Structures are given as C-alpha cells and as structure tokens.
C-alpha cells in the first residue's frame, strides 16, 4: 500500500510502498478515506528536537482520519467490514491505575498513532477495536477526519462549566476556533478569541466567533469594557502555545478564574506566579480527549447543528500532500484534508 513515511531522520515525509498492516485478534483494519494534517505532523515533517526524540524511524505518520472497516481480527465483535469509522489515536495500556479506573486519557503508558506506532497517512491503518469510533450517517467523512483536534477543543472547552461565564480563548488556530464555538454552545456569556494573525481571526469570524481580536493592534482591556465586561474573564482556554498570550490571559482573569491549557509552548517560559496565587486561579493541563466521553459529546455537537465545514480551507488529493503541508506551514490554513480515494 502507499503511505507517507518518515523514513529518514531529516526534514520531509515521503510517499512509499509499505506492506498492508495485519490486524491482531483485537484489532481492525481500516481503509483510510480522508486524512487531515495536524500541527504535530508538521513538527514531524520539520524533524525538530521534539520529533527527533519521540518518533522512531521509519514510521508511517498521521493520526487524523476517517475511513471504512476493511477487515477485523478474530476476536473483534463490534465491527463489520463496510462500517464508517474514525478513531482515538491515543493507545492506552488498560493496566495502569487510571486505565483501570476508566480514566484512559490519564494513562501513563499512552502510545500515539502516527507518532510512536504506524499511523493513518496510509491506505490502511490497524487500530485496537476499543479505539474505533463508529460514525453516524449524518456526520460527513471530512468532519469525522478532524475529530481528533475537535476532540482536543471539546475536552478543553468542557473542562469547566461555561454557563453564564465570560471566556477568553488565546490562539485562533483550528483548535482555538473550535474551542470558542463549543464554549459558546455550552452557554458562555461572552466568548473572545485572540490571535496575532489576521487570516486566522477572519476564519474565526467566518465560523461565527463573536469577538475575534488582534492583540498586536487592539487593547484587550478596551474590548472588554466595550462589550460590557467589568471584572475579568471567568474561564480561559489557552490554545496558542505562545507565552505572551498565556501571560495576557493570567493578567485578564477574574479572581477565582479557571484556565484549561492545551497549547504546547516550544520551550519553557516564565509567568507571574504571584498573580496565579493572589487571584486564586485554577490551572488545568489538557492532553488529548477523554475516552470516550469527549467522542460522545463531539458527535452530539455535530448532530445538534455545529457546522465545522468552513474550518476546512484546503481539500486536496493525497498526491498533493506537499502543497497541503506547505499551506499548514504558512500558518494561514484552517484544516487541510487529504483524500485517498
Ligand atoms: P496553531 O498553531 O494552528 O494555532 C495557534 C495560534 O496561536 C496561531 O494562529 C498563532 O498565530 C496564535 N498565536 C501566536 N501567538 C499568539 C499570541 N501572542 N496571542 C494569541 N494568539 C497567538 O495550533 P492548533 O493546531 O490550533 O493547536 C493549538 C495548540 O494546541 C498548539 O500549541 C498545539 O501544539 C497544541 N495541541 C495540544 C494538544 C494536547 O493534547 N495538549 C493536542 C493538539 C494540539
Ligand atoms: Zn494505562
């Protein structure tokens, strides 16, 4: 089969012929229909320090996908060939304390599909049956292909009760935009998203985020006063991975505010810990999706009318993957979806 392989420890990904993986007894074989490109894939392409220490070479990459069951292992009971599916890309051990307590997202032995084991930038992908999520008929393939990052947004935005709260989302990348939309639908009063990239802010407005603010040219305190916020943000969703954005968030939180942090900073950075203490802020790190409550809620959001279609700015045949990665690297794309069929 054809697959995008990290076959050498240097920048790039290469389309190669590799064997079709064979499902073990508890695994299914999925014929991948659509693959989306994640920021993580760009790190793997670039072969930065994180990628070089995390990713074994050679490896089939990719973890955002949708497809159809092609074959099932001998012990698989829940799936049949032909079924439309997506799947959770964090493979958990099932044996650690958190796994056994039903908190798979806190597994201490998580392996990443397309990061530490063979991924979904391929015609076929093997996944444990327990990681596979059936996709209802009213959810389009391309939306199911971005469920992994949508799940990051849903997990982060639903970390705290949004009803009646004023929410600041820092970073209007695809995940920040989805997080803002989820907070809004979950009952937030004001939802403000920030970025320093005008294209990203335009995309946020196009999807209906009420206040999309360029903090390189606008004063966020003035915006808050203008929209009737007198105290500070109640909830922060950090989706930029940028230190200045996180510091600004801490400055603008109300006392007792709650911050969920998804963005990954490239290097360590300073914050004013005294503000965290004297404002009595709650900080919560977020990794991946809750298994599988986040998946349930994601599907429910789509089925209840949340339309993420405008977030997909590039649809390309798989042979044009280089153009897709180039669009991602420029930082101006929303989601890029590649078609294998
Ligand atoms: P992205 O890089 O597309 O978006 C980040 C956005 O932040 C960009 O639009 C950028 O212009 C903006 N930004 C930069 N400086 C800013 C500033 N000072 N103020 C406001 N915005 C600023 O990333 P994404 O794919 O949307 O993912 C969001 C973040 O979440 C990334 O940091 C990513 O690495 C991280 N992530 C974490 C997990 C996890 O499980 N914890 C999973 C997926 C992604
Ligand atoms: Zn575990």
Residue with CA at minimum distance from ligand 1 atom 35: 263
Q: What is the pLDDT of residue 267?
A: 86
Residue 69 among known ligand-binding residues: no
CATH of domain 159-285: 3.40.50.720
Q: What is the pLDDT of residue 266?
A: 85
SS (H, E, C) 46-114: HCCHHHHHHCCCCEECCCEEEEEEEEECCCCCCCCCCCEEEECCEECCCCCHHHHCCCHHHCCCCEEEC
* Max CA distance (Å), the chain: 62
Q: What is the pLDDT of residue 47?
A: 97
Would you list the domain boundaries of the chain? Answer: 2-146+308-339, 159-285
Q: Classify the C-alpha dihedral 146-150-152-155 as positive or negative.
A: negative
Q: What is the pLDDT of residue 264?
A: 95
Distance 92 CA to ligand 2 centre (A): 5
- The ligand with the least distance to the CA atom of 214 is 1
3-state secondary structure of 210: coil
Relative orientation angle of helices 293-303 and 147-157, to the nearest 10 degrees: 100
**Residues 6 or more apart from 111 whose CB is under 8 A from it?**
90, 91, 117
What is the DSSP pairing of strand 14-17 with strand 27-36? unpaired
Kindly report the pTM of this predicted structure. Answer: 0.98
- The ligand with the least distance to the CA atom of 246 is 1
Q: What is the pLDDT of residue 8?
A: 97
Residue 44 among known ligand-binding residues: no
Q: pLDDT of the chain along its 341 residues, tens only? A: 999 999 999 999 999 999 999 999 999 999 999 999 999 999 999 999 999 999 999 999 999 999 999 999 999 999 999 999 999 999 999 999 999 999 999 999 999 999 999 999 999 999 999 999 999 999 999 999 999 999 999 999 999 999 999 999 999 999 999 999 999 999 999 999 999 999 999 999 999 999 999 999 999 999 999 999 999 999 999 999 999 999 999 999 999 999 999 999 988 899 999 999 999 999 999 999 999 999 999 999 999 999 999 999 999 999 999 999 999 999 889 999 999 99
Q: Which of 126, 112, 85, 88 is nearest to 3 (CA)?
A: 126
Q: What is the pLDDT of residue 69?
A: 98
Q: Does the C-beta of 39 come closer than 6 Å to ligand 1?
A: yes
- Answer yes or no: are the C-beta atoms of 10 and 19 closer than 8 Å: no
Q: Does the C-beta of 196 come closer than 6 Å to ligand 1?
A: yes
Task: Please state, in angstroms and rounded to a whole number, the distance separating the CA atoms of residues 71 and 63.
Answer: 19
Listed in sequence order, the DSSP H helices in 264-310 are: 273-278, 293-303
Give me the CATH topology for the region 2-146+308-339. Quinone Oxidoreductase; Chain A, domain 1 (3.90.180)
The ipTM assigned to this model is 0.99
Task: Please state, in angstroms and rounded to a whole number, the distance separating the CA atoms of residues 340 and 337.
Answer: 10
Q: Does the C-beta of 114 come closer than 6 Å to ligand 1?
A: no
On the CB side of 290, CA atoms within 13 Å amount to: 16
Q: What is the pLDDT of residue 332?
A: 81
Classify residue 242 by its DSSP letter.
-
Q: What is the pLDDT of residue 78?
A: 97
Residue with CA at minimum distance from ligand 1 atom 32: 263
**Residues 6 or more apart from 76 whose CB is under 8 A from it?**
23, 25, 26, 27, 28, 129
């Amino acid at each position: 089969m054809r697959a995008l392989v990290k076959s050498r420890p240097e920048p790039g990904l290469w389309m190669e012929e590799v064997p079709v993986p064979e499902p073990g007894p508890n695994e299914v074989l999925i014929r991948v229909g659509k693959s989306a490109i994640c920021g993580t894939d760009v790190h793997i392409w670039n072969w930065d320090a994180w990628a070089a220490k995390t990713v074994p070479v050679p490896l089939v990459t990719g973890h955002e996908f949708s497809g159809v069951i092609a074959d099932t292992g001998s012990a698989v009971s829940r799936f049949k060939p032909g079924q439309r599916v997506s799947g959770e890309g964090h493979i958990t051990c099932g044996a650690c304390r958190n796994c056994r307590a039903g908190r798979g997202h806190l597994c201490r032995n998580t392996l990443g599909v397309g990061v530490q084991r063979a991924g979904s930038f391929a015609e076929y992908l093997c996944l444990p049956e327990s990681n596979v999520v059936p996709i209802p008929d009213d959810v389009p393939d391309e939306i199911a292909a971005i469920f992994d990052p949508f799940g990051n947004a849903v997990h982060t935005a639903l970390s705290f009760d949004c009803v009646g709260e004023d929410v600041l989302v820092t970073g209007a990348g695809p995940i920040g935009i989805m997080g803002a939309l989820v907070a809004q639908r979950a009952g937030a009063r004001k939802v403000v998203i920030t970025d320093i990239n005008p294209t990203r802010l335009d995309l946020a407005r196009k999807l209906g985020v009420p206040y999309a603010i360029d903090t390189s040219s606008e004063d966020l305190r003035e915006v808050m006063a203008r929209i009737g916020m007198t105290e500070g943000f109640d909830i922060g969703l950090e989706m930029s991975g940028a230190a200045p954005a996180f510091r600004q968030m801490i400055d603008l939180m109300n006392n007792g505010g709650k911050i969920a942090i998804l963005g990954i900073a490239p290097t360590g950075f300073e914050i004013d810990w005294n503000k965290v203490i004297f404002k009595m802020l709650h900080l919560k790190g977020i990794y991946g999706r809750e298994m599988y409550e986040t998946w349930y809620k994601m599907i429910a959001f789509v089925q209840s009318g949340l339309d993420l279609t405008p977030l997909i700015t590039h649809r390309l045949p798989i042979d044009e993957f280089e153009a897709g990665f180039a669009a991602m690297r420029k930082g101006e794309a929303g989601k890029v979806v590649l078609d294998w069929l």
